[in-house]
Structures are given as structure tokens and as C-alpha cells.
Amino acid sequence: MKVADPALWSDPARSQPLMRERKRLESALADDADLARRTEDIDAYFDLAREGENVEAELGTAINELTVLAEKMDLKTMLSGDTDALNAIVSVHPGAGGTESQDWAEMLMRMYLRWAERQGFKTEINELQDGEEAGIKSATFTITGEYAFGLLSGETGVHRLVRISPFDQAKRRHTSFASVYVSPEIDDSIVVDIKPDELRIDTYRSGGKGGQHVNTTDSAVRITHIPTGIVAACQNERSQHKNKDKAMKMLRSRIYEFELEKKRAVTKKLEDSKLEINFGSQIRSYVLQPYRMAKDLRTRVEVGDVDRVIDGDLEPFIRGYLKARREGALQSPLAEDDDV
């Protein structure tokens, strides 16, 4: 066995992918064993029912639990891409609209962080710029967990909010936009060739809300990949060296995803399922006024309890997107005619 090799653990480039694959296989085997056990339990309840035992409640519970497990296993079959099992790096940026859009961007960031918490995933804020009055100007954070990127891959795009503005004294209805970009956190086993002379590295003082932990040195780092214009920044560490290392890791991940996108464009395999991120091609609307609904414009999945969605319950949209992608049924977003 490869894991029995003592030299493996001194080589992260070899050990990390191997352990990730081992964990995936162990999880698949555990699911199979759980499926067999639950099926046997249901068979036993049917036998008891035929003998006249009152097991209706227990049988209903067992069937519901089996359904949840089957849906979980079905979801994993939709996550077979090379990077689906990796961690996710999520960036959120407000659109035009000042405080309104900045507040919406912060709501989206909180939505994804709460979703991650529901999944038992770990999160780390890599870069955060607060808005002047409220909300955020930008945020980048890493979600660490099995299949985090695969589950969130359909969240890339523009998200639209319609509500009565809390910042408008006249209580008028406002429409706000914010963009979300999700990339896989690639490890050292995936080679990304970045030449030093193609990088521009800037240092700056971290922005924050103040307090005893405010950063008072120019330790924040922003790295720009000049040929592509891709930017990665990190400010959460006090050490400039650590911030640079994390920013480089994010940059490598984004360049990797950028190159994958170029290949997809050439082969046109995902021509209809990948959207250009601009404020004319929103992928989802969240309407709080004049009615309440969250609707994905590519899958037509609708959820009436929009508060639950904004609080992190994204399962209907994630499952809907992955299922539509598998079946080749993703639709191009249409002009908004159902929202005001």
C-alpha cells in the first residue's frame, strides 16, 4: 500500500492527493454499507408488518432516512470532475449601486459562510474590504470540505436582489447586484507555470473595523498576474510572508480555473452552462418585495422561503444545478419579466 511508505508523509505533493482519494473511497464504501443496512432494515419492517405488527411509524422513518441517503449518494455521482472534490475559494464583489450593492454583497458572503457551517465545513476569510457606510467592497474566503468546489461550482455568476431599501428614507424598492466567483483550491500536485516577471506584487495596510487587533503594518499583499489581469489578495495574517504565500496559492487556483475555462471555450463543451459574469446575465434573483421568492434562472428552481435561502439553505439550488448540468438541461438566463 502506498500509505505504508514512510517517505510518503515527507512529500505533501504526493500524500495530500492520495489521502484525499483514500478519504473519498472510504466514504463511498461507508455509504454502500449504510445503504445495504438500511435496505435490510426496511425489508425486516415489511416482514413484521405482514405478521401483523404495527411498525408503520418505524417504517416511515426508515424510508425517509433511506431517501436522504440515496439523495446524498446521487449527489456524489454528479461530482465526478477533476476538481469537484477540492476546497473552494469564493470571491464576492458588489455591482454598481454603492451602499445598496455593498450591503447585498455582505449578505451573500454571510449566506455562503452559513451554508458552509451547515455542511460542517471550515471557512477562512482571506481578504475583506469593508464599505464606507455598510456592507463590503470585496471579500475572498476559502471553504474547506469534501466536494466544496463541486457543490458551489454553480454559484459563479451575478446574483440579483429586489427589496425595500433599509438605506432609503422614502422606503422605495431597489434592485441590487453582486457577482460571485468560485474556483477550486488546487494543491501542489497540479502544476501551474507562473513566471516571476509576470507578477506585480503590492503591499498595503489591511483595512478593517479597528480594535486591538487592527493591522498597523503594510503586511497585506496583492498579487497581479499581468498577462491575464487576475488578482489575488490576502490580509488576514500579520506576517507579510504568510499573506504572500496564501495570495500566491489563490492566484495559482484562479489561473488554473482560467486556463480550464479557455479550454472549455475552445471545445464548446460547456458553452451553454457557463455564463460570462456581467450585470446583464444574472443567474439568480432573490425577491423580498413585492412578493418573496428566490429563483434560479438557469434551472427554474424556485423557493418561496427566501429568508431560509439567504440564511444558507442552498440545497435546492445546488442539487437543481448539478442535476440540470448532468442532463444537459441548463437554460440561458432570460430577461427578467417576473421581477419588478
**Using 50, 70 and 90 to split pLDDT, how confident is the model at 214?**
very low
For residues 153-160, give the mean pLDDT.
94
pLDDT at 180: 95
Which tens digit of pLDDT belongs to each residue from 258-303?
877 776 665 444 334 344 445 556 899 999 989 999 999 999 999 9
Q: Give how far the C-alpha of residue 136 lies from the chain's centroid of Cα atoms, to the nearest Å.
A: 18
Res. 2: pLDDT tops 70: no
CA dist 140 and 60 (Å) reads 43
* 3 state SS of 43: helix
Residue 160 burial class via C-beta count within 10 angstroms: exposed 0-12, middle 13-18, buried 19 and up? buried
Res. 312: pLDDT tops 60: yes
pLDDT at 280: 58
Percent of the chain with pLDDT over 70: 82
CA dist 312 and 322 (Å) reads 18
pLDDT at 337: 47
Res. 340: pLDDT tops 50: no
Helix axes 56-77, 315-326, angle to 10 degrees: 60
**Using 50, 70 and 90 to split pLDDT, how confident is the model at 161?**
very high
pLDDT at 3: 57
Question: In the chain, what are the domains?
Answer: 2-77 (no CATH), 88-189+269-326 (3.30.70.1660), 196-267 (3.30.160.20)
The residue with cell 440545497 is 315
**Amino acid, res. 333:** P
C-alpha cell at position 298: 438557469
